[in-house]
Structure 1
Amino acid sequence: MSTERLVADPCPRRFLIAFVIALLSLVARPALGEDFLAGVVADGKPWEMFIVKRRASNILVLRPDGGGTISDNIATIHPTWRAVPGGICIRPEQSEAERCLALTRTTSGIAASQMGKTVWILKR
């Protein structure tokens, strides 16, 4: 085998191109941790939802189909939600505005924040 033939052989180039594409696809993806927290939260199981401003707890259940419930000792509402990069957007009731929150893991659970302030913390 001559040196010219090795240089002209397309197999190493194909391998290198495939390797670079695979590497770029891994780098371009967001980290699994934060962007998939919406899927973790929306598993259809109840979460204790501690509302920071009111210092009160509710029970939050978000289903994978985009529906859910938020209940306290007095009332239950049926919010709708959707996943967005880094968090969720939730509409507590049809007549209310949608509110988008960033989700992050903390030592105490999953924090939902808006404009840098923690709005609620989810715990199990």
Structure 2
Amino acid sequence: MYLIVLFLLMYCGLVYGATDLGDMASFIRGSFVALARLLTAVSYIAGLAFIIAAIAKFKQHKDNPTQIPIGTPLALSVIALALVFFPTILGIVGETVFGEHASTAGPKGVVYCSQRAAVTENSCF
């Protein structure tokens, strides 16, 4: 058992180890692309979850208005809309602030573009 672990640890440096500073920066830059995509996906999924929760709270308010105030489902609805439209709003705000064809530099080229708010790996167009 210990020999297997020792054998695996002996080769992990060859697979995952960076030989110089440039390789390290490349690995870190690659992880930022995944992080940007993860944040976009989490925003959409959390928005959908808040929509479902808001619908459930609206039903609870209809069944018993004294227990659930109307502000609770309305607040959940506003949060859901903000989360669902967050990636799109980033593109619109970028176009408003920086001009029509402006784009912000991301981990690999461009992450958010003025026309498309989706995360792309290389460029907008």
The structure whose residues are more often helix, as a share, is 2
* TM-score (normalised: structure 2): 0.27
The structure whose residues are more often strand, as a share, is 1
* TM-score (normalised: structure 1): 0.28
